[in-house]
Amino acid sequence: MPTPVPSPPAADPPEITADLVRRLVAEQLPHLAGRAVTPVPRQGWDNRTFRLGDDLTVRLPSAAGYVAAVEKEDRALPLMAAHLPVPVPVPVATGRPSAAFPFPWSVRRWIDGEPLDHARDVDRDGLARDLAAFLVALRAVPAADGPVAGRHSFFRGCHPGVYGDEVAEALVRLGPRVDAAACRAVWQDAVTTAWPGPPVWFHGDVAAGNLLVAGGRLAAVIDLGTCGVGDPACDLVVAWTFFDAPERRELRDAVGLDAATWRRARGWALWKALVTVAGMSGSDRDGGQSRALAAVLADPVVGGTVVGRPAG
């Protein structure tokens, strides 16, 4: 879940319901009217998603801060899809703002699979390798015309230092609930590195809820609204939010990124965990971030670096 970024004033959306979706489809995409409209069982933060028949989905931004992702995905997803080892949602149509709903909205191809955070019998080592293969392929997608990391990506793909003030505030709020000295050591270790290469594509929100599995292995990757081109370190946060230490090593060995990138990734994971546990993320759900924070602080070696100082 990205931290919301203030947006220019816009009309508040109405309650997003199946009836609203039926109305929008009938008015703007009459060739798709008459299909069954049903909400998906588990909704995301940025969008409300509905099945449209058996093979399509309708996604509507939940707030003005998430509107930019509609056009960005329209442009980016077809480009990515040709290069990736598993499917991403392919755009079918785009709805326009109207009196019924003030934001653009999208129609995508439905992809079968179960969200990782609710899946059973997952081959976790295999999944780590699958995800690494996806991230390697994503970095290889031509990036010359991609959107440079910034506000549209909630600063994913930028240097993690952009959120230094939030880390400091979270530590003040949490007080003795966390080991502030250890957190500061991890943060310093992260922000003293930088991505040395040309910008590459990143997903921006690689989380268990955005990974679909089938037969225990990665089947698709969804929700690329925070994607862009920049530093790929942000895409490694899942190493601490989902994987355990041996699986994290499996991911690290396969993903082909250097020790400094893993140090920045750990900084991203620290920031996300701290602001969530401190109640600064806009959600009252922990979402496993307390466990992720413990994993970040307990991880003695990440990509050849000991917490707080170079290995050696």
Nearest-angstrom CA–CA distance, 219 and 222:
10
Q: Enumerate the domain spans of the chain.
A: 18-111, 115-310
Beta strand extents in 147-271 (DSSP E only): 200-202, 211-214, 217-221, 228-230
**What CATH number does the domain located at 18-111 have?**
3.30.200.20
b/e code 291-307 from CB counts within 10 Å (16+ = b): ebbebbbebeebbebeb
Contact indicator for 41, 58 with CB cutoff of 8 Å = no
In the sheet that 105-109 helps form, which strands lie side by side, from edge to edge?
Answer: 37-39, 47-52, 56-61, 105-109, 91-95
What is the mean pLDDT of the segment spanning 245-274? Answer: 97
Output the pLDDT for position 299.
86
Side chain identity, residue 298 = A
Output the pLDDT for position 310.
33
Alpha-carbon dihedral 163, 3, 276, 204, rounded to 10 degrees:
-80
The CA–CA distances, whole Å, from 201 to 8, 86, 233, 259, 272 equal: 27, 16, 11, 19, 21
Q: Which is it for the CA torsion 227, 80, 142, 132, positive or negative?
A: positive
25-58 pLDDT tens trace? 999 999 999 999 999 987 777 889 999 999 999 9
Output the pLDDT for position 2.
45
Residue 215 tokens, joined: 């037969």
| Bridge partner residues of 220 (DSSP) | 212
Nearest-angstrom CA–CA distance, 6 and 225:
16
Output the pLDDT for position 260.
96
Nearest-angstrom CA–CA distance, 107 and 95:
8
Query: What percent of the chain is predicted at pLDDT more than 90?
Result: 84
108-127 pLDDT tens trace? 999 999 999 999 999 999 99
Output the pLDDT for position 300.
65
Nearest-angstrom CA–CA distance, 4 and 225:
13
* Mean pLDDT of the residues in the chain: 91
Q: Which residue has the higher pLDDT, 302 or 67?
A: 67
Domain topology for 115-310: Aminoglycoside 3'-phosphotransferase; Chain: A, domain 2 (3.90.1200)
Question: Residues 93, 98, 104, CA angle at the centre, nearest 5°?
Answer: 40
Confidence class for position 4, pLDDT limits 50, 70, 90: very low
Output the pLDDT for position 14.
82
**Nearest Cα to Cα of residue 69 among 89, 85, 83:** 89
Query: Token pair 């401190």 is at which residue?
Result: 278
Q: Is the pLDDT of residue 251 over 80?
A: yes
Q: Do domains 18-111 and 115-310 have the same CATH topology?
A: no
Nearest-angstrom CA–CA distance, 54 and 209:
21
Q: The pTM is what? A: 0.90
Nearest-angstrom CA–CA distance, 159 and 218:
28
195-243 pLDDT tens trace? 999 999 999 999 999 999 999 999 999 999 999 999 999 999 999 999 9
Output the pLDDT for position 131.
98
Confidence class for position 303, pLDDT limits 50, 70, 90: very low
Q: Which residue has the higher pLDDT, 148 or 10?
A: 148
Side chain identity, residue 164 = G
Q: Is the pLDDT of residue 139 over 90?
A: yes
